[in-house]
Chain A
Amino acid sequence: MAEKETQKTYRMHLMICAGTGCVSNHSYEVKEALEKELRKHGLENEVVVVPTGCNGFCERGPILVVQPGNIFYQQLSVKDVPHLVEEHFLKGRPVAKLMYSPPETKQPVPVLNDIPFFNKQVLIALRNRGLIDPEKIEESIAHDGYKAMVKALSEMKPEKIIAEITLSGLRGRGGAGFPTGLKWQLVRNAMSTNGGQKYIVCNGDEGDPGAFMDRSILEADPHSVIEGMVIGAKAIGATAGFIYVRNEYPLAVERLSIALKQARDYGLLGQDILGTGFDFDIQIKRGAGAFVCGEETALIASIEGRLGEPRPRPPYPAQSGLWGKPTCINNVETWANVPTIINRGAKWYAGIGTKTSKGTKVFSLVGKINNTGLVEVPMGITLREIIYDIGGGIPGGKAFKAVQTGGPSGGCIPKEKIDLPIDYESLSEAGSMMGSGGMVIMDEDTCMVDVARYFLTFTQDESCGKCTPCREGTKAMLEILTKITEGKGTPEDLTLLEDLAPAIKDTALCGLGKTAPNPVLTTLRYFRNEYETHIQNKKCPAHVCRPLNVYTIDPGLCLSQGHGCDVCRRNCSSEAIAGQKNEAHAIFQDKCIKCGVCYDVCAFGAVKVD
């Protein structure tokens, strides 16, 4: 049935984003409305609606791209549909008011490639985003899916595949940046006891908060990952593979299950794949909500049905992994790069990027930024290009303060380093790390002490408790940071933090503990003055640390501008605001719980925070 549909000719394809972000913005309702409206106009045999994976420009969802023409519509709602269908799909007049208008020019940009968010991106791992229906293997195949696998299985010796990956310069996209070719070589060389079994694992336990590229790839193009894994399996000599997916990603699990079944039905997985004599199959393992399972030894334990606790390395999984067998673990984005490298050649790939970091990297651009979403850019691009050219700058005319990369293991890079070309090395030199590619933008309203405390809360909560430095050390650091954010800090606390940090770094068992102090160290390095203001003046300059905030209402403004509109009082959940309509309002400090809702809802700027 599915085969028939793709063969049928339509004059127009409406590619609607069905990634998690757009789905939560009701893209399925828009899809249904489109189909209904097309039927109403008798267009159902001319125009087809195709659900795709994440388009990347999540901020503007739900997103619809019309082919041919690459016409980009955004923030669609069900009520826009009748007009859109009649005007564009029936009469051929694209609807400008549903297109994207950059805030600077206010001029609608009809074509996707002309939108600044898209035109600086280079898509390798995300090559099929918005182009295919991830639930139809034929669409993946039409876009060169499984072509590299054919080449690897029929024409290439394992050594040749590994040489190609090594030459391409591909490094692990999960965080540490270990050279992928070298890892494959180590697993290939490793001797396996009894029967020579080796395993391939795809790490889809995308735990770093603020990073969602792996979810997006699994949802938008699951076959790219499957294909990458088959190629890896041939290279290292594995016959079984596992994809470990986070518990929080139900849609990714669903699409991946469909993709695996379709690949198996076509004989692209299983026994004697495409008659090449190569056997390989893949199983999905769902995570159960433990951040530490992203660490490879903990992930292995979890797949085996045990507690997801890390163990000391060596031995590395390359020697002794799943059930003690040599195991090659790479993350989702790494696997998705593999087919393109095989198809287009290592030299082509190595031509992109910097001296030490080749190819592209997918970043999730989130936080205080206009164009939130998923971007794939060549290594070596500067932070400025990402934040301003692609990201469209900071909302509300606020000042950019810092960017956090690398999740809880990474650090904050200040605005002084905005022209830093990004690669694995430059980020570590700045005290942070590449990590899985989360890029959380922070503006003048973000408190860096609070950010450090946030990450420590995270690691403290996720620490598995096996080793003392991580279990007790992060707890001690968190207590100090909490004290500071409550206005109870002393100057000695900063020295204590600086003593604790290296002790934890040097002695913790796994990556989680070793890197846990990084957010504190980088914020101390670049934003020490903010810590000092909290300690000496008992103030939070960004008004984030609530025990230090005092909310008041300017009675003059409240009455003259807002005529005592009463919105703040109605929204206050602690009955801390006095006043009625046409009267100036006031806050009872003893009742105020500092939730800030009055400040958020006041349209006249009458609520002040200090």
Chain B
Amino acid sequence: MNEQRVSEILTRYQGDSSSIIAILQDIQEDFSYLPPPVLKIISHELGIPLSRILSLATFYKAFSLKPKGKHRIHVCLGTACHVRGAQRIIEKFERDLGIKSGETSADREFSLDAVRCIGCCGLAPVVMIGEDVHGKVTQTKIPGLLKKYKK
């Protein structure tokens, strides 16, 4: 099963080893993380040492070696969001979800991450849940937002 998904992704890039970052991105998107057994397959198929793949996987923030939640929450901590109180927003998420930034909730519904500016500064503070951008978020709006995605 996994092998098939991986080979589909590899075919997309015709085994081009310089496309390794794009390949990892597609895997991350498809599996919601980079499963170690999958990385081994890629290492073998592309002839890239596993150590090099792991160094890429840990250098770039888009990658995660642990599974992420069904809904990925990204709280923007860009400058505009910061001066409009983003730090308090992320802490409210941490309290309500009972997890720290970078973690996934026990029921695998949500994972929480900080992100450096999603370029939506006009609507600061901004939170991205999945693909949806929510602007002008306040602490009091957060319980409602979580409820909306949970069901």
Contact = CB atoms under 8 A, between A and B. Distances in A.
Nearest to A372: B122
Question: Which of B62, B82, B131 lies at the interface centre, i.e. has the most chain A CB atoms within 10 A of its CB?
Answer: B82
B92 interface: yes
A454 B79 contact: yes
A219 B138 CA distance: 28
Contacts, number: 163
A78 interface: no
B33 to A, nearest CB: 14
Given A366-B80, A367-B83, A451-B83, A249 B119 contact: yes
Interface string A194-217: 000000000000111111100110
A20 B118 CA distance: 10
Interface in A428-450: 438, 440, 442, 446
Interface string B1-33: 000000000000000011111101100000000
Question: Which of B18, B22, B61, B117 lies at the interface centre, i.e. has the most chain A CB atoms within 10 A of its CB?
Answer: B117
A368 B83 contact: yes
A603 interface: no
Interface residues of B, number: 48
B100 interface: no
Given A209-B79, A454-B82, A288 B131 contact: no
A446 B96 CA distance: 26
B70 interface: no
B91 interface: yes
A583 interface: no
Contacts of B78: 209-210
Interface in A245-294: 246-250, 285-291
Interface in A347-384: 364, 366-368, 372-374
Contacts of A206: 119
Nearest to B131: A250
A55 B56 CA distance: 37
A372 B135 CA distance: 13
Nearest to B76: A209
Given A372-B121, A464-B59, 17 more contacts: A58-B123, A59-B123, A61-B122, A61-B123, A209-B77, A209-B117, A210-B79, A210-B117, A212-B122, A216-B119, A248-B118, A250-B131, A307-B56, A308-B59, A366-B121, A440-B83, A595-B88
9 contacts: A249-B118, A286-B25, A288-B25, A289-B60, A290-B60, A305-B18, A305-B20, A368-B83, A573-B92
**7 interchain residue pairs of minimum CB distance:** A58-B122, A209-B78, A289-B61, A24-B133, A212-B119, A288-B60, A366-B80
